[in-house]
Homo-oligomer: A and B are copies of this chain.
């Protein structure tokens, strides 16, 4: 199913970890498994990817040794300390040793949980990510961040640790519902907004309700993320640009959990609308650009409803892990394609931004 796009993937060669794409993924993964002489092969999946993705992956590999499958419940709830401890125990019971290879097949929940699991069991075993959602392909599975949530606190615990490789297989996108696709698309929009105006403009008019993003688009997003991460792996500076839309977006996502849950990308889309307002007020993004971008995002997510408590959101932002000394800091835009990080904003400004967002809804 996947097309050969060898003209586009030269940039992938020197990635923080190899990112294999399309059909090439299968050969490369096969090769890794054969050369690695692993003591054991493990697949971490959720119920959905067990049914919809693992068979296709296994059947696309020409030769596969004996393997074990670890399955968790689908959904963000599995990214918990409780499930992590259960998985540590399961690996122990399977007598998994340091020469094992774990292949995480799933969305961001699986690659986040699986990366942390593999990075800590026996102080680290080999692992590969096979993202199956658009969000995981363009964001979660590469960049080396992994982790779990602590109750409602997202990614409160984890590691910066690269997998051996990431296999991006766009075929899996065909298994996704439209809402899932659009959730991942929000992160692609973010990539355009923080790094590439032309790419943003291409995406802003894309019919995500009816089409699957092209392989070229997916690669462009991976490339933008990769270039940023390679300059600042541990997020001390530039990498924070990737948090555009996320300070408010995470708070919205968390607050929505108790009422009507939003998907990650949906919350980030709303967060970006509010943070476009902040960009206009605090980092001099031209008002016409801020307004136009906000309207375009709203148009792509036109059916989203939201009715949150502004005080609750402020409180949630106070506990965001990117804060320094309890200030609330934002990654904003100076221009479309030009980020500015570490912008400290007080409650008044944030409240105005949330009011602006409310008017847009």
Please, how many angstroms separate the alpha-carbon atoms of A234 and B323 in the complex? Answer: 33
Instruction: Let me know if A157 and B88 touch, CB within 8 A.
Output: yes
Which residues in B have their C-beta under 8 angstroms from that of A319? Answer: 92, 95
Instruction: Let me know if A325 and B160 touch, CB within 8 A.
Output: no
Which residues in B have their C-beta under 8 angstroms from that of A116? Answer: 120
Which residue of B is nearest A321, CB measured? B122
Q: Which of A286-334 contact B (CB under 8 A)?
A: 318-319, 321-326
- Interface bracket on A: 35 or more
Please, how many angstroms separate the alpha-carbon atoms of A81 and B84 in the complex? Answer: 10
Which residues in B have their C-beta under 8 angstroms from that of A155? Answer: 123
Q: Does A85 contact B (CB under 8 A)?
A: yes
Per assembly, the copies of the chain total 2
Which residues in B have their C-beta under 8 angstroms from that of A325? Answer: 39, 97, 99
Please, how many angstroms separate the alpha-carbon atoms of A344 and B324 in the complex? Answer: 51
Q: Which of A55-71 contact B (CB under 8 A)?
A: none
Stretch at the interface among A21-29, A145-153, A272-280: A145-153
Q: Does A159 contact B (CB under 8 A)?
A: yes
Closest beta carbon of chain B to A314's beta carbon, Å? 14
Which residues in B have their C-beta under 8 angstroms from that of A318? Answer: 95
Contact with B along A153-166 (1 / 0, CB 8 A): 10111111000000
Q: Does A18 contact B (CB under 8 A)?
A: no
Q: Does A345 contact B (CB under 8 A)?
A: no
Which residues in B have their C-beta under 8 angstroms from that of A122? Answer: 156-157, 321
Q: Which of A80-134 contact B (CB under 8 A)?
A: 81, 85, 88-89, 92, 95, 97-99, 116, 119-124
Instruction: Let me know if A123 and B98 touch, CB within 8 A.
Output: no
Known: A97-B321, A324-B97. A92 touches B153 (CB 8 A): yes
Which residue of B is nearest A318, CB measured? B95
27 A-B residue contacts at CB 8 Å? A81-B81, A81-B85, A81-B88, A85-B150, A88-B150, A88-B157, A89-B151, A92-B150, A92-B319, A95-B319, A97-B321, A97-B325, A98-B321, A98-B324, A119-B159, A120-B120, A120-B147, A120-B158, A121-B157, A122-B156, A122-B157, A123-B155, A123-B157, A123-B158, A123-B159, A123-B160, A124-B159
Query: 5 closest pairs, A vs B, by CB?
Result: A39-B325, A81-B85, A122-B321, A123-B158, A120-B157
